[in-house]
Amino acid sequence: MPFIHDPEFGDRMITLMAALVLVLQILAVGQRWLMGNIRIFGLQSFLLAAIAGTIAFFNHANHVYIVALLTLILKAVVLPLILARLVERVGIQKEIEPLINVPLSVLISGCLTMVGYVVAESFYHPEETSGVAALGRNTLAIAIALFLIGFFMLLNRRKALTQVLALLSMENGIFLAGISLTYGVPLVIELGIFFDVFVAVMVLAILVYRIGETFDSMDVSKLRRLRG
Amino acid sequence: MILLWLLIVPLAAGPLAFILRRRPAMEAVNLTAFAVVLCLAAALGVQVVQSGPVSLWDGFFYADALSALVVLLSAFIALICSIYAVGYFRQDERDGVFQADGEVIGALGAYKLRKFYSLTPVFVFAMVLVALANNLGMLWVAIEATTLTSVFLVTFYGTKTSLEAAWKYIMIGGVGLSMALFGTFLTYYSAHRIPGTETLAGLNWSVLAVNATQLDKPTMRLAFILILMGYGTKAGLAPMHTWKPDAYGEAPVPAAAIFSSALLNCALYALVRFYILANRCLGADYPGHLLLLFGMLSMGISVPFILVQRNFRRLLAYHTIDHAGIMVTALGVGGPLGALGLTLHMTFHTVAKSLLFLCAGSVYQHFKTDLFHKVKGGVIHVMPLTGTVFLMAILAIIGMPPFSLFQSEFVILRAAMAAGHYVPSVLFVVFSTGIFAGALVHVGGLILAPADAAPVVRWQPWRNLPLLILSAILVVIAFWIPPPLFRLIQGAAVIVASGPVVSAR
């Protein structure tokens, strides 16, 4: 299969997968079920791992393989499992109640994607990128869009667990930006970031559990006793 | 080598306390560990002042005067607060704070104390790592680690409000830090044209600072905004400050004192590192104006909240937001004088603010409330020592002349005037006056109100000793700063103003 070694092919694959990641993010905005949301996050992380693997393959960057593998294990399998178990343990309403209704949310996500393109345009210099499979500006724009939509989701949701998912999808956006700009940061740092994200999810899971226990609800809009 | 020990000692003390379980043993581990860290930090300071920056593992860890100053302040506050914590939690135990209904007496308390004494050293380790990490990615990892290790200190008492505070702390902090991570990646990207930056050292601050003029400018602009928002959230700059009064008000007082002084320094330290890069790459105007904007906003927002505040721990938290604003303003003014103002203010604020929190803690434990109107009778009559020290510290922190914070604020103001920032200078004075009035009226009323009761509080060694040490230092530094410390502060200011020193004395 000679076409596999063609950088052009790699380019297209990456762009295609990045586009799918964006589609999944917008699906997550419209998703009403918590479990569905967790699955979308897992799928998105799987695609990111695939993108990282593709980049590693075409640029012969061995350390990116490790990053891809870690993403696959940690973000596509372990974190979704932890979150799914948490949903069962807490066992309260699984439906997400966004503040802004779904059609409008999707529309806002579309606008944020455009913002991503405008921002990416302003500082991306493809002619200077040295890699074989130079990543299109699409990937960077999508990464920024992921970050912004994740932020919007965070503001738009009331349930503690769904906010955690939104935060994680923001992190996915940053990850995509990192690998599309510089093929990721040095491995030691990447490992540190993975470790921090993992610990953060554990800490958040404990907090979510205790909030659910103490307040009999995961609705963080009920957390408003501290003011002024 | 000294850098490694600075990290190993607190990191080992956490698990050790966790294993030992018994309260006296955990207290001893904490006290010893922090005493050792303080000695090491002092040794590091001396070494940096005498023979320039120290580095380890090809510059993975790196300490110049600025890092040494931050490490020294963190270590000092950690030791003082651990002494105070011994007395504070023993009092809590006597008051039965830990006993939930139907619980085996003491079991819950033992569990909570174990949590505190094993998490605090790890938290201190993360703060030391912030100051010693040369790699900007590692810096981010360390800052995130300070959040993660301190969340469960905020939820220490396990009340509803403390869960709420912890949730805000970690969510707002998480969003902020994700911006900072994005900014860090962009900074790395902006260096991609400089040869030799593909390796691990490519993210090293000392490497980037030397090559700062070659960084890609548009990328660096975006990166600096993200970093300012990100680490600004961690420092509690307005409008990302909302977690701060909650977390400071809910955390046990020894932890809150560390948050308000040492942790604030760490967040500002990260911001300063990126400011130095941006300053050298983009010129002083771009980062300077952004910093002035956030500084003024933080100072301005804290004024009304201080004026109408009903809770004295939250008042102190808003006060910290104000001081974060002052320090960011100093950084924004820049230049040798502004930088000196910043490092001086950082030192003075650390001493005064931790003292205030500890005083507030003693008052809170005695009166069992942190609301002004529920405290019956003047503190100075009921608790003569705490009351006196509290009054002195509040006068110091709002900038009364004999105290050192007046000097540093005056330096900052002079630098701002000299640099032609007239509008910020005027606002600076206006806001400071508002806070002066608000804090003095509230805390003055709390302390000096008439009381019919005779002094009732006995000498409490564990809690009074830290107060006395801190207030002695506060008085001394108003008139005389020990020369080695002053040289360290000056050295740090030089780094802030003009980047890495190749041949420091």
Cα distance between residue A20 and residue B184, in whole Å: 26
Cα distance between residue B435 and residue B441, in whole Å: 10
Please give the residue of chain A at the shortest CA–CA distance from B164: A223
Contact: B167, A186; criterion CB under 8 Å: no
* Residue A186 near chain B (CB below 8 Å): yes
What is the amino acid identity at position A120? Answer: A
* Residue B152 near chain A (CB below 8 Å): yes
3-class DSSP state of B371:
strand
* Residue A191 near chain B (CB below 8 Å): no
User: Comparing C-alpha atoms, which of A120, A133, A146, A157 is closest to residue A47?
Assistant: A146
Spatial contact of B321 and B47, defined as CB atoms under 8 Å apart: no
Taking residue B115's Cβ as centre, other Cβ atoms within 10 Å add up to 16
Per the structure, the complete domain to which residue A71 belongs is given by: 2-217
Burial of B177 (0-12, 13-18, 19+ CB in 10 A): buried
Residues of chain B found within 8 Å of residue A190, distances taken between Cβ atoms: 137
Residues of chain A found within 8 Å of residue B189, distances taken between Cβ atoms: 181-182
Spatial contact of B171 and A163, defined as CB atoms under 8 Å apart: yes
Residues of chain A found within 8 Å of residue B167, distances taken between Cβ atoms: 160, 207, 211, 220, 223
**pLDDT band of A132, cuts 50, 70, 90:** very low
* Residue B100 near chain A (CB below 8 Å): no
3-class DSSP state of A219:
strand
pLDDT of residue B464: 87
* Residue B313 near chain A (CB below 8 Å): no
Residues of chain B found within 8 Å of residue A220, distances taken between Cβ atoms: 167
Choose between A118 and B104: higher pLDDT. A118
Cα distance between residue B261 and residue B70, in whole Å: 10
What is the amino acid identity at position B279? Answer: N
Spatial contact of B353 and B323, defined as CB atoms under 8 Å apart: yes
pLDDT of residue A136: 59
Residue with tokens 């349930």: A159
Please give the residue of chain A at the shortest CA–CA distance from B312: A228
With a cut of 70, list the residues of chain B below it in pLDDT: 99-107, 195-198, 200, 452-455, 457, 501-505
User: Comparing C-alpha atoms, which of B480, B501, B481 is closest to residue B492?
Assistant: B501
User: Whole-angstrom distance between the N-terminal and C-terminal Cα of chain B?
Assistant: 20
Contacts of B437 (CB under 8 A, 6+ apart): B307
* Residue A171 near chain B (CB below 8 Å): yes
Spatial contact of B26 and B117, defined as CB atoms under 8 Å apart: yes
Cα distance between residue A208 and residue A202, in whole Å: 10
Spatial contact of B250 and B165, defined as CB atoms under 8 Å apart: yes
pLDDT of residue B101: 52
Cα distance between residue B330 and residue B322, in whole Å: 12
Contacts of B374 (CB under 8 A, 6+ apart): B367
Residue with tokens 């991570």: B181
Please report the ipTM that was assigned to this predicted complex: 0.89
Contact: B167, A171; criterion CB under 8 Å: no
**pLDDT band of A131, cuts 50, 70, 90:** very low
**Which of A57-66, A90-99, B161-170 has the highest average model confidence (pLDDT)?**
B161-170
Residue with tokens 């505070």: B165
Gyration radius (Cα) of chain A, Å: 18
| pTM, entire model | 0.91
pLDDT of residue B372: 81
What is the amino acid identity at position B199? Answer: T
Does residue A133 have a pLDDT over 50?
no
Condensed to tens digits (0 to 9), the pLDDT of residues B144-154 reads: 999 999 999 99
Cα distance between residue B69 and residue B343, in whole Å: 9
* Residue A196 near chain B (CB below 8 Å): yes
Q: Is A9 within the bounds of a domain?
A: yes
Q: Is A124 within the bounds of a domain?
A: yes
Cα distance between residue B151 and residue B247, in whole Å: 9
What stretch of H or E contains B253? helix B253-258
Taking residue B455's Cβ as centre, other Cβ atoms within 10 Å add up to 13
Contact: A200, B152; criterion CB under 8 Å: no
User: Whole-angstrom distance between the N-terminal and C-terminal Cα of chain A?
Assistant: 66
pLDDT of residue A138: 77
Does residue A190 have a pLDDT over 50?
yes
Contact: B144, A196; criterion CB under 8 Å: yes
User: Comparing C-alpha atoms, which of A120, A34, A20 is closest to residue A83?
Assistant: A34
Please give the residue of chain B at the shortest CA–CA distance from A208: B167
* Residue A62 near chain B (CB below 8 Å): no
Spatial contact of A137 and A124, defined as CB atoms under 8 Å apart: yes
Spatial contact of B116 and B153, defined as CB atoms under 8 Å apart: yes
Q: Is A228 within the bounds of a domain?
A: no
pLDDT of residue B365: 87
Q: Is A222 within the bounds of a domain?
A: no
Q: Is A73 within the bounds of a domain?
A: yes
Please give the residue of chain A at the shortest CA–CA distance from B198: A186
Contacts of B28 (CB under 8 A, 6+ apart): none
Burial of B241 (0-12, 13-18, 19+ CB in 10 A): buried
Which of A135-149, A173-187, B189-203, B351-365 is predicted with the least confidence, judged by mean pLDDT? B189-203
Q: Is A195 within the bounds of a domain?
A: yes
pLDDT of residue A127: 54
> In terms of DSSP H, where are the helices of B155-216?
160-190, 205-210
What is the amino acid identity at position B397? Answer: I
pLDDT of residue B442: 87
Chains A & B: contacts with CB separation below 8 Å: 126
Condensed to tens digits (0 to 9), the pLDDT of residues A200-227 reads: 888 888 888 888 777 766 666 666 666 6
What is the amino acid identity at position A77? Answer: V
* Residue B234 near chain A (CB below 8 Å): no
Spatial contact of B119 and A174, defined as CB atoms under 8 Å apart: no
List, as own/partner pairs, every contact residues B501-504 make where C-beta atoms lie below 8 angstroms and the sequence separation is at least 24, other chains included: B501/B52, B501/B53, B501/B64, B501/B65, B503/B52, B504/B48, B504/B51, B504/B52, B504/B53, B504/B64, B504/B65
Cα distance between residue B439 and residue B53, in whole Å: 40
Which among A182, A183, A221 is the top mutation candidate for probing chain B, defined by the most B β-carbons within 10 Å of its own β-carbon?
A182
Residues of chain B found within 8 Å of residue A215, distances taken between Cβ atoms: 160, 163
User: Over B300-330, what HEC string results?
Assistant: HHHHHHHHCCCEHHHHHHHHHHHHHHHHHHH
Spatial contact of B253 and B360, defined as CB atoms under 8 Å apart: yes
Does residue A191 have a pLDDT over 80?
yes
* Residue A220 near chain B (CB below 8 Å): yes
Count how many domains chain A has: 1
pLDDT of residue B75: 94
pLDDT of residue A56: 83
Q: For strand B61-63 and strand B54-56, is the pairing parallel, antiparallel, or unpaired?
A: antiparallel
Dihedral (C-alpha) B224, B225, B227, B233: value to the nearest 10 degrees? 150
- Domain coordinates of chain B in residue numbers? 2-498
User: Comparing C-alpha atoms, which of B326, B352, B283, B489 is closest to residue B415?
Assistant: B326
Partner-chain residue, chosen from A193, A207, A223, that has the shortest CB–CB distance to B141: A193
3-class DSSP state of B63:
strand
DSSP of A157-193: --BHHHHHHHHHHHHHHHHHHHHHHHSSS-HHHHHHH
Condensed to tens digits (0 to 9), the pLDDT of residues A43-54 reads: 999 999 998 888
**What sign does the CA torsion over A34, A40, A44, A47 have?**
positive
How distant is the Cα of A19 from the closest Cα of chain B, in angstroms? 20
Which among A123, A148, A161, A162 is the top mutation candidate for probing chain B, defined by the most B β-carbons within 10 Å of its own β-carbon?
A123
pLDDT of residue B505: 32
Q: Is A68 within the bounds of a domain?
A: yes
How distant is the Cα of B496 from the closest Cα of chain A, in angstroms? 25
Spatial contact of B64 and B504, defined as CB atoms under 8 Å apart: yes
Q: Is A108 within the bounds of a domain?
A: yes
What letter would DSSP give residue A72?
I
What is the amino acid identity at position A147? Answer: F
